[in-house]
Structure formats: C-alpha cells, structure tokens
Structure 1
Amino acid sequence: MPEITFTRLSGIPAETLVAHMSDPRLAEHMPLLTMTWDTETARAFVAAKEACWDRDGLGHWAIMSDGRYVGWGGFQKEGEDWDFGLVLQPADFGLGARITRAALAFAAADPRLSSVTFLLPPSRRNLGALARLGARFEGEVDHAGATFRKYRLETGA
C-alpha cells in the first residue's frame, strides 16, 4: 500500500499544477474552475494557499503517494468553519477515501478543528462516503457565486 504524505504546495513545480488543473475531467465537479491555468495562475494559486498558512496556521497541502504528486487538498478557513477540500489527479481518484481518512485523523488531533465542513457541487451524486463518515447535510450555500451542498462532520477534537 503506498505511503500517503502531506507537504507544502510551494514544493510542487508550477508546470505540475498546470497539468493537473488543466485536465477537463476536474471541471465537471469544480464550478469555480473557470479560468485557463498557466504558470502564472499556478504561482498565484500557491501564493494564495501559502497566505492561508501564514494567516491561519493551516491550509492546503500537496498530497504525495510514495513521493509522487497525486493532488492537493486540506483545510481552509471559510468564515468560522474549517472547510476540507480535495482535488486529485484523475488517475488517482481511487486514493480519495484513504487520503480523506488521513486528513480527518489530522483534524481530530488538532484542537482548532472541532468540526470540518465539505462544500460539494450539486453535480456530485455519490455521497455515500460522507454518510459513512457521519457528516450531516446543513443545506445549500452560495460560495463565490456558485451553489454548493454543505455538510459538517464533528471531529471530536
């Protein structure tokens, strides 16, 4: 079984992020993914994610499987909530549950994260994994001009 590790996005080449975020399969479930990615977009994205770390002490990671980049995700402060996001390369979608469990174990050990939220677009139909985790539906919310279904999971932190 591959080793999953979390590292900073700043260590990932911009070209790797451009290739990842330019895959048209991602846009199917990412209503906010409307721009064309280039190296400048990737650098601005990493700078914004690093600013979250500076401001909140936590943010999104690059996710590695046996040292290979498979995507990005983590926890970002959205108002009073810590939202969990995960964006994997299509070839690595099968690692999602395992990565989510590892991230949620991190959340459960961090006293700042007594609960985490998940914002999912209405296009996401397979929500059984959230139910199995114990997440509860809180309603639909607008985020940056798009509608999302909001779920919350108490972490026990």
Structure 2
Amino acid sequence: MTNSVADDMENATDPRITFGRLPDVSPHEILAHMSDPRIAEHLPLLGSAKWDSDTVSSFVAAKEAYWHRDGLGHWAICANGRYVGWGGFQKEGEEWDFGLVLKPEFFGLGLRIMKMAIAFARTDARIPSMTFLLPPSRKHLRALDRLGARFVGETAYNGEPFRKYQLDIR
C-alpha cells in the first residue's frame, strides 16, 4: 500500500499523462496546489495574496478566458488520473508562451510534459514557436537547452523580471 500520490507516481514505471480542463478539477485541489509556499518561490506573479475559493474561481475563469479568446489555453494536467498541476499556452501578442506549474512532488514529470506540449504545438499550425518566461529564481535550465530552446534575453512581465527563451518548432 502506498502512502501518497507521489508514491503512486514513483511506483508507476510510466505514468499516463493526460490534459484536461481546469474547471474539471476540484477547487480544493487547485487551492492546495497554489497555496503551497514552494510554488510561490518560482511564481513571482502570485504576489502576496492569500488564495481562497474566490481566488481559485477567478484563476480558473481567467485561464478559461484564453480558451475562448484564442482557442487554446491552460490545461489541468493529470498523471494516472490524479491532478499534478496545470500548464499550457497563452498568447502574448504574436507569441505563444508556454507555462507549467506542477505540484512540487511531481516536478520530475516536467520534462516529459513539456515534450508532450511541444509535440502538440507541432501539430497546431497557429504555433510556429513557443516562448518560456522563467523567473530569476529558476537555476536549473538544462532541460530547455536539451529541448533546443535559445535564450532571447531579459524581459519584464507585469513588472516582474523574467528570462525569456524561445523554441522554434517548425
């Protein structure tokens, strides 16, 4: 018998990753995820606001608005049917930015999920390239190098500094 969801994932030799929609995830799951202080370390745009059910509702509505506006947005990501985080595409001007926010116990699935997102992007004619905005707190960037992303430069988003990378997929 396993003690946690993380144990379930570690014991699975190849967890089945699926993409769904955030409204299908329990708000309590999202609240617990986004209230974890380890998440805030790498998400400067979270600010200092305390998450509650209203914050979750607004967050999910904002992410769904991208689907309605652009026909693409952020997914709820599951491994073996369990919510492990969210991520997806957000159109910023003419660019498609990809973001990924996993629960800390599932950080190890990040590269695999990114590869799945890249494979998806390659089938979508709207996406010639993907950008990634990483806060200065992110120190381990080798995965982006291995994927072929190149450093574009420093940028600010909503007043916060980020390192911008781009991956041409065509």
Same fold (TM over 0.5): yes
Q: Does 1:81 pair with 2:95?
A: yes
Residue equivalent to 1:104: 118
Residue aligned with 1:6, SS: strand
- Which of 55, 58, 66 matches 2:80? 66
- In the TM superposition, what is the alpha-carbon distance from 1:79 to its structure 2 partner? 1.3
User: Where does residue 24 of structure 1 map in the other structure?
Assistant: 37
Matching residue within 120, 141, 147 for 1:133: 147
Residue type of the alignment partner of 1:33: L
Offset, 1:58: 0.0
Unaligned segments of structure 1, at least 5 residues? none
Backbone CA RMSD of aligned residues: 0.6
SS at match of 1:32: helix
Shift of 1:14: 1.0
Match of 1:15 in 2: 28
Query: TM-score under structure 1 normalisation?
Result: 0.98
Which consecutive unaligned segments of at least 5 residues does structure 2 have?
Answer: 1-13
Amino acid at match of 1:104: I
Q: Distance in 1 between the 2:59 and 2:40 partners?
A: 16
Q: Which residue of 2 aligns with 1:48?
A: 62
Cα distance in 2, alignment partners of residues 38 and 155 from structure 1: 38
Give the TM-score normalised by structure 2: 0.90
Return the index of the structure with the highest Cα Rg: 2
Task: Give how far 1:33 is off.
Answer: 1.3
CA deviation vs aligned residue, 1:85-141 (integer Å, no higher than 9, x gap) = 000001111110111111110001111110000000011111111011110111111
Tell me the distance in 1 between the aligned counterparts of 2:139 and 2:82: 29
Hey, which bits of structure 1, 4+ residues long, moved more than 4 A? Answer: none
Per-residue CA deviations over 1:27-67 (Å, capped at 9, x if unaligned) read: 11111111211111001011011110000000000000011
> How many residue pairs end up in the alignment?
156
Task: Give percent identity, aligned residues only.
Answer: 63
Matched, 1:33 2:46: yes
CA distance in 1, matches of 2:54, 2:78: 23
Paired with 1:80 and 1:143, the residues of 2 have a C-alpha distance of: 15
